Amino acid sequence: MILTVTLNTALDITYRVRAVRPHTSHRVTEVTERPGGKGVNVARVLAALGHEVTATGFVGGATGSSLQDQLARTPGVVDALVPVGGATRRTIAVADETTGDTTQLNEPGPTITPAEWSAFLGAYANLVRSAAAVALCGSLPPGVPVGAYALLVRTARAAGVPVLLDTSGEPLRRGVAARPDIVKPNADELAELTGSHEPLQATRDARRRGAHTVVASLGAEGLLAVNAEGRWRAVPPRRIPGNPTGAGDSAVAGLLSGLVEHLPWPQRLARAVALSAATVLAPAAGEFDRRTYEELLGQVAVTGEATAA
């Protein structure tokens, strides 16, 4: 079982419009609604790849009930979300069909009480013991300590379970110091963490801060991975136009599935890049176009060397 943690779950709502024009009314051509938050998206992609997944985090209110109702209809994903008194947030994506651009509006999430945080820690400790790998994903809702991910990384490592961290800002800085097995920042998050805008130097700096493997997401330029075994670059064969929301979450799913399947790093990265690219053609985050994924998987160019970084 792979465990995904989404402390700030969301109900993802996507509106499609012909074109986004400020200060005007818009007629929505299509609405999709899905359980969301980064770790929930990761769980759905992992399940689609055939893995058993358990999703945990916080959920509450009418929005949370709707999220859980839809999650229950997702084959392969077990709901282990912890109830809270506040309401789960909504995220609104407005997709412009003319330009292909997406505007994202993210609510902050419910305020978590100390008692709710304590209840989650107990549930998490129990779940980790039966996990093959853990993904810690996304932002922290109000009330959760800024060092939360560092604590969750240490709990997983104490149980001998590999852990991937995908967050940003101060939670990422503190989490990296707890020595996660993998961190997956994007270029901006990596630069904020290290102060370097040169990807290879920044990934090496992040490793010195504690991460065993750093996989930097470089958008259309693919992924760069650096660890003690070497360094690799994986690049999609072409740019795929569409909605990039959730592409990074699909990359995380590719990395985690490759980890538990014991794939060599080049194959893990090829899978992550192909999944990420195929996600931009899907109607919502947490999904991917399977035909595109299978087509791209054999076309992703992976270069690098298996030497000490």
User: Has 96 been annotated as catalytic?
Assistant: no
C-beta of residue 43 within 8 angstroms of C-beta of residue 34: no
The 3-state DSSP class for residue 212 equals: coil
Going by C-beta distance under 8 Å and a sequence separation of 6 or more, which residues neighbour residue 280? 240, 241, 242, 243, 244, 247
Token code pair at residue 86: 């506040």
Partnered with residue 94 across adjacent β-strands are 15, 103
The 3-state DSSP class for residue 14 equals: strand
Distance (Å, whole) CA 132 – CA 175: 20
Going by C-beta distance under 8 Å and a sequence separation of 6 or more, which residues neighbour residue 289? 278, 279, 281, 282
Distance (Å, whole) CA 7 – CA 59: 9
54-70 core/surface letters (b: 16 or more CB in 10 A; e: else): bbbbbbbbebbeebbee
Selecting among 166, 181, 249, 289, the annotated active-site residue is 249
Distances (CA, A) of 90 to 9, 13, 67: 9, 7, 10
C-beta of residue 164 within 8 angstroms of C-beta of residue 136: yes
Distance (Å, whole) CA 245 – CA 283: 10
Strands 163-166 and 77-79: unpaired
Active-site residue list: 249
